[in-house]
Homo-oligomer: A and B are copies of this chain.
Amino acid sequence: MGIRYGIIGSGAIGCFYGAKLIQAGCDVHFLFHSDFEHVKKNGLRVDSIDGNMFFPHVNAYDRATDMPTCDVVLIALKSTQNHILPNLLSSVVGPSTTIVLLQNGLGGERLIAHQTHAKHILGGLCLVCCNKLGPGHITPLEYGKILLAEYREDEQPAGVSQSMHDIAAPFKQTGISVDLSEDLILARWKKLMWNIPFNGTCALLDTPTDMTMRCPQSRELAFELMQEVQTGAASQGRAIPDAYLQEMITFTDTMVSYMPSMMLDSRHHRPMEVESIYGEPVRTALNNGAHLIRTETLYRQLTLLNARLCHTAPFDQYIIQ
């Protein structure tokens, strides 16, 4: 028997990568929530840009405790659900398990390290735009490029290990581009370089990226927020060159009009990932002596917006010092 994979959180991202792993011949076990009955009965469909996939029978579970212990566990929950992870991971993670956290923002790997005894914890940064068309029916808009980097408790660069190559292999086999990075913290701040300026601004103002970039004032704010992300990265000893900021501006200018995930969440009154994308970076930088004032302002505004739209408790578990 080959490597056994567990997929925790089978939304668009979880289903897409899980389907790719089945395609690569792996033994894959999915934890479903609302789509469980549908997938049990009708199977899993993933319409991909390089061919459609249909699996009439998948190993689907609706209770985490029914799942077997897995060699590799992909966590594809939204970070707003991280408080339920200890329950979801208790039987699926063993002492030789590698966890790959497919989430946005900062701090998720540390949380998991404190909650489990996994052997390796990797961060997986997805550069895929994926949509759920209906229950068990996913279409990815792009090719699903992924970047992997390993977590270390001292938050220093972990280098590229054999285990990272092993995780990457079946994805590469099905045509997914996988980059291996030596430094998880740097990779996460570089992803935030786009998420912090655009996710929150577009959600707060309900404007897609192109309109945000066309207004000189919000364009300037986006650039100032990028500079704060650069400062935040520097506070953790990670240098992001000025050229990278310019690259992000040019990238966004040349994109089609795009609604970031947080804007879609706010439109559909779904909880936004405010803590992982804003709260945690602000606190991390502050603990390292850097006050990201604009990012903190967005954090405070988005907390109120989340409370209003989703009736989440406006009381956060953390307090800004």
Contact residues in B for A201 (Cβ distance below 8 Å): 301, 304
Per-position contact with B for A295-308: 1 when CB-CB < 8 Å, else 0? 00111110111011
Q: A217-B316, A314-B216, A315-B216 are in contact. Are A207 and B299 (CB under 8 A)?
A: no
The reply to whether A215 and B303 contact each other, CB–CB distance below 8 Å, is yes
Contact residues in B for A211 (Cβ distance below 8 Å): 304, 307-308
The reply to whether A297 and B297 contact each other, CB–CB distance below 8 Å, is yes
Contact residues in B for A206 (Cβ distance below 8 Å): 308
A256 at the interface (CB under 8 A from B): no
Complex-state Cα separation, A211 to B311, whole angstroms: 12
The reply to whether B218 and A301 contact each other, CB–CB distance below 8 Å, is yes
Q: A293-B293, A293-B294, A308-B211 are in contact. Are A300 and B204 (CB under 8 A)?
A: no
Complex-state Cα separation, A298 to B320, whole angstroms: 20
The reply to whether B304 and A205 contact each other, CB–CB distance below 8 Å, is yes
A212 at the interface (CB under 8 A from B): yes
Residue with the highest number of chain B CB atoms closer than 10 Å, among A215, A221, A299, A303: A215
Residue with the highest number of chain B CB atoms closer than 10 Å, among A204, A307, A316, A320: A307
The reply to whether A215 and B314 contact each other, CB–CB distance below 8 Å, is yes
Contact residues in B for A316 (Cβ distance below 8 Å): 216-217
Q: For residues 234 through 254 of chain A, which have their beta carbon under 8 Å from a beta carbon of chain B?
A: none
Q: For residues 260 through 282 of chain A, which have their beta carbon under 8 Å from a beta carbon of chain B?
A: none
The reply to whether B220 and A300 contact each other, CB–CB distance below 8 Å, is yes
A214 at the interface (CB under 8 A from B): yes
Per-position contact with B for A193-222: 1 when CB-CB < 8 Å, else 0? 000000001001111000110111110110
Residue with the highest number of chain B CB atoms closer than 10 Å, among A212, A301, A303, A316: A301
Which of B205, B214, B217, B299 lies in contact with A217, CB distance below 8 A?
A: B299
Closest partner residue, chain B, to A228 (CB atom): B293
Complex-state Cα separation, A222 to B294, whole angstroms: 14
Contact residues in B for A294 (Cβ distance below 8 Å): 293-294, 297
Contact residues in B for A305 (Cβ distance below 8 Å): 205
A-B contact sample (12 more), CB < 8 A, given A216-B315, A221-B297, A297-B297:
A205-B301, A205-B308, A207-B304, A207-B308, A214-B314, A216-B314, A217-B299, A217-B301, A217-B303, A218-B303, A221-B300, A297-B298
Q: Which 9 A-B pairs have the closest CB atoms?
A: A215-B314, A217-B303, A221-B300, A218-B304, A217-B300, A215-B304, A293-B293, A297-B297, A294-B297
